[in-house]
Amino acid sequence: MLDKDSLKPLYLQIEEDLEKKITSGLLKPGERIPTEDELVQEYMVSIITVRRAVSELCKRGLLDKQQGRGTFVRDTQFVRDSSSIMSFTESCRIQNMKAGARLLEAGIVPLDQKTAAALGLEHPCRGVFLSRLRLADGEPVVIEKNYFSLEYSFLLEHSFNDSSLFAFLKENSGVSISRSDKDISLCYVRSDEARLLKVSKETPLIMIRSTAYDQKGEPLYAGTQVMNGLRFSLRIRQGV
């Protein structure tokens, strides 16, 4: 039941309830959700309220409205192979998706002790910071935050909107990534991340902390990737 005395809008309560049903598997990928009239009866609200909740879930890529058929739970996810060294752009290409990027922040910043150590630098020090929002077929799926040594300050001369950072490094400095150490965990979404990824505050996020190394084995960058857990899955291959 909805809390009609709550300060939280009714459409948002419906949106979050439907999202929980999708996350829990109660509504499965490819399954048609109840009709607008059925949702009106279930939640005891106006059809306008129901339509807004469903519309928001469609915008976020959780539902797909099909003319004349109804609204269905989307069954597509962006899959990232965490076992191999592959750029976001290449991952999208393999899945026949269009990669996109929007630069959020770039500059010279102080590095904390952990980041400096990952880059093989003595603390205190400063480094290059790049933050981007990554998109797959126009949908936001990842927020990247990467730190480089000042040796890579030339990166600040490029915007990296809708372009590959890996490819730029290879073409302009001959640097390629040979390996990457990753720590994967779950995290709570912050308000700014929720806005960028178009998710509610209760959406599960995947966080990857990584340090990448060049072909000489030297640290190239250290950073984090925060991913929408509902639109993103990781694939890890293990040998025998």
pLDDT in tens, 211-232: 999 999 999 999 999 987 666 6
Rank 29-38, 87-96, 113-122, 161-170 by mean pLDDT and report only the highest. Answer: 113-122
Burial level of 228, CB count in 10 A (0-12/13-18/19+)?
A: buried
Q: According to the model, what pLDDT value does residue 62 have?
A: 81
What pLDDT score was predicted for residue 98?
85
**pLDDT top residue among 184 and 148:** 148
Domain containing residue 63: 10-73
Select the more confidently predicted residue: 109 or 64: 109
**Which helix or strand (DSSP H or E) is residue 52 part of?**
helix 47-59
Same domain for 96 and 129: yes
Amino acid identity at 39: L
Closest CA to 72 of 42, 28, 24, 33: 33
Which pLDDT band, with edges at 50, 70 and 90, does 239 fall under? very low
Better pLDDT: 10 or 235: 10
Whether cis (ω within 30° of 0) applies to the bond prior to 124 is yes
Tokens of 176: 């390629």
Asked if 159 and 120 sit in the same domain, the reply is: yes
- Write down the pLDDT at residue 24: 76
CB of 208 within 8 A of CB of 224? yes
> Model confidence at 23, in pLDDT bands (50, 70, 90)?
confident
Mean pLDDT of the region 192-211: 86
Same domain, 83 and 47: no
Q: What is the CATH number of the domain that holds 27?
A: 1.10.10.10
Residue 3 domain flag = no
Per-residue pLDDT at 121 exceeds 70: yes
Q: What's the whole-number mean pLDDT along residues 202-211? A: 86
Closest to 54 measured CA to CA, from 78, 69, 73: 73
Q: What domain count does the chain have?
A: 2
The last residue of one of the domains, among 26, 53, 73, is 73
The reported pLDDT for the residue numbered 94 is: 67
- Comparing CA positions, the residue from 169, 164, 154 lying closest to residue 214 is 169
pLDDT score of 112 more than 80: yes
The mean pLDDT of 153-172, rounded to a whole number, is 90
Q: Determine the Cα–Cα distance for residues 197 and 30; give it in Å rounded to an integer.
A: 23
